Amino acid sequence: MELASISLILGVVLLVLLAAGLWVALALMVAGLTAIFLMVSVPPGAVMATTVWGSINSWDLVALPMFIWMGEILFRTRLAEDMFAGLAPWMRRLPGRLLHVNILGCAIVAAVSGSSAATTATIGRMSLPELRRRGYDERMAIGSLAGSGTLGLLIPPSIILIVYGAATEQSIARLFIAGILPGVMLAVLFMGYTAVWALINRRRMPEPDPRVPYLERLWQTRRLFPILALIAGVIGSIYGGFASPTEAAVVGVALSLLLSWLSGTLSRATFLEALRNASRTSCMIILILAGASVLTVAMGYTGIPRALALFIAEQGFSPYALLAALTLFFVVLGCFLDGISIVVLTASVILPMVEAAGLDIIWFGIYLVLVVEMSQITPPVGFNLFVIQGLTGHNILKVAAMTLPFFLMMIVAVVLIVLFPQLALWLPQTMLAR
C-alpha cells in the first residue's frame, strides 16, 4: 500500500476516534494497530505488548507522578495566599499594580508544580476574587491569569518537558535548564504588555492602595520564604548536581509534605485526596505515552517519518520556513488536543524533519513547549480556558477573547526564540560545560 494511502487511512481513523470521544491514548493505540495490520505481517498484539511495556518501563518517568503529587499537595496549603500577600506590597508603584501578581505568582507556582492547569487553578482561586474586590478590570485579570498559567509548561520542573525528554531520549536536566531563560522572557513579555495596557487605560485601573511602609513590606515578604525554600530545594538540587530530576521530585514531595504539615493543612483527608488526584493524572499521562509509543512503532513500520524527512530534504526548505509551517500546524492541532498529546503524537514524525533541517533537539523541545503553551488558551480544547471557565462561570469563547493579547505575546516569544536560539541553549551549554 502506498504511503499516501496509509497516511490518509491513519489520519481518518485517528480523527474519527477522537471525534467520537474515545480516550486519546486508546485512539493512538487503535491507529497504530491499524497501521501494523495493514503494512506488516507481524502479530499486532505482540508488538503492542512489548512496545507499551518498553515505553513505560523508564526511570525518567518516575519524576512525573512525583512532581504531580507535589503540586497536588501544595494546592491544598496556604502557600498561594501567602505568596499573594508577600508580593502585593511591592507592586503598588508598578503600572498595572496587582495584575502583576497574577504573572509573578504563576511563575513562582510553575517552578514548584510543573503543571499549567494546576498553576492556573492555584493562583486563580486566590487572585481573581481579590482583584475583583479591589476593582481591577475583569478582562485583564482573567487574561493575565490564563496567559501566565501557561508558564507551568515551560518553567522547570515542567511535566511536559519530562514527557518530551522521555519521548525523544533527551536529557531532562538539560531541558529543565534550557527552559529557564525562555520562561523568564515570557513572564517579562506578559508584564510589559500589562504595564503598557495600564498606562494607556488609566481610567480602567482602580485607585492605588494606601502606601505601605518599607519595613512592613519587608515583614510581609517573609511569607514568600516557604515557597522560595521549596523552589531552592527542588531546582537547586538539580542544578547543583546533588540530585537527578527524578530524585529532586522526591525531595519536592518531602518538602511539600513538610510545609503542608507546618502550615496545619496536612490531614489524612487532604493527603489521600492529593494522592488520589495525582495517581489519576499520572495514569492518564502515562497511558497517553503508551498509546503514542504504539503509534510511533507503527509509523516506523510504515516509513512515513523517513519519507517526510526525505521530502523536506528534497524541497530544500530553510529552517525558518520549516518552523513557520510547524508553528501553524501545532497551533491548529492545539485547538483539538492537549499539550502532552501533541508532543507524544507528533514526536516520531516531526523529529526526523527537525534533524534533517539541522536544528538542535534540546532547542526544539523548548520551541515546541512554547508553541504548545498556546494550545492551553485556544478553544475548543484549551485546558486553561476550562479551568478559568470553572472559576468564573464565563463562556469559554469569552475567556479566549480576554486571553488573546497574551496569545499574541506568546507568538512574539516564539519569534524571539527562533531568531535568538541561544536564549534556550546558552544556559545549558554554560552550566553543563563546567
**Of 340, 350, 355, nearest in space to 61 by CA:** 340
Measure CA of the first residue to CA of the last residue in the chain; give whole Å.
Answer: 52
Environment class of residue 318 by beta-carbon count within 10 Å: exposed (0-12), middle (13-18) or buried (19+)? exposed
Question: Residue 66: its pLDDT value, please?
Answer: 79
DSSP category for residue 169 = T
3-state class (DSSP) for residue 395: coil
Checking phi first, is residue 393 left (phi over 0); if not, alpha (psi -120 to 50) or beta?
A: left
Tell me the DSSP string of 209-272: PPPPPHHHHHHHHGGGHHHHHHHHHHHHHHHTTSS-HHHHHHHHHHHHHHHHHHTT---HHHHH
Q: Are 293 and 52 in contact (CB under 8 A)?
A: yes
Give 393 or 118, the one with higher predicted confidence: 393
- Tell me the C-alpha distance between 96 and 99, whole Å: 6
Distance of CA 270 to the CA centre of its chain: 25
Is pLDDT above 80 for 418?
yes
152 contacts: CB under 8 Å, gap ≥ 6: 106, 109, 110, 113, 114, 115, 116, 117, 118, 119, 120, 158
413 contacts: CB under 8 Å, gap ≥ 6: 182, 185, 186, 189, 370
Q: How confident is the model at residue 419 (pLDDT cuts 50, 70, 90)?
A: very high
Question: Residue 166: its pLDDT value, please?
Answer: 80
CA angle 111, 116, 119 (to 5 degrees): 60
- Tell me the C-alpha distance between 63 and 404, whole Å: 33
- Tell me the C-alpha distance between 130 and 432, whole Å: 42
CA angle 4, 358, 430 (to 5 degrees): 140
DSSP category for residue 179 = T
Residue 395's identity, in one-letter code, is N
At 398, list the grid cell.
469569552
At 163, list the grid cell.
514527557
DSSP category for residue 51 = H
Q: Mean of the pLDDT values across residues 4-14?
A: 73
Distance of CA 321 to the CA centre of its chain: 25
Q: Mean of the pLDDT values across residues 270-290?
A: 80
- Tell me the C-alpha distance between 284 and 405, whole Å: 31
At 138, list the grid cell.
475583569
128-160 burial, b if ≥16 CB within 10 A, otherwise e?
A: bebbeeeebbebbbbbbbbbbbbbbbbbbbbbb
Q: How confident is the model at residue 381 (pLDDT cuts 50, 70, 90)?
A: low
Environment class of residue 184 by beta-carbon count within 10 Å: exposed (0-12), middle (13-18) or buried (19+)? middle
Question: Residue 393: its pLDDT value, please?
Answer: 75
CA angle 242, 275, 343 (to 5 degrees): 70
At 413, list the grid cell.
516569544
Question: Residue 343: its pLDDT value, please?
Answer: 80
pLDDT tens profile 34-43:
877 777 677 7
Question: Residue 197: its pLDDT value, please?
Answer: 92
pLDDT tens profile 137-183:
888 888 888 888 888 777 777 778 888 888 787 888 888 888 889 98
Distance of CA 53 to the CA centre of its chain: 25
- Tell me the C-alpha distance between 274 and 170, whole Å: 30
Question: Residue 4: its pLDDT value, please?
Answer: 66
Q: Are 116 and 149 in contact (CB under 8 A)?
A: yes
Give 428 or 76, the one with higher predicted confidence: 428
- Tell me the C-alpha distance between 341 and 28, whole Å: 10
pLDDT tens profile 41-93:
777 777 777 777 876 776 666 777 877 787 778 777 777 667 777 777 777 77
Question: Residue 295: its pLDDT value, please?
Answer: 75
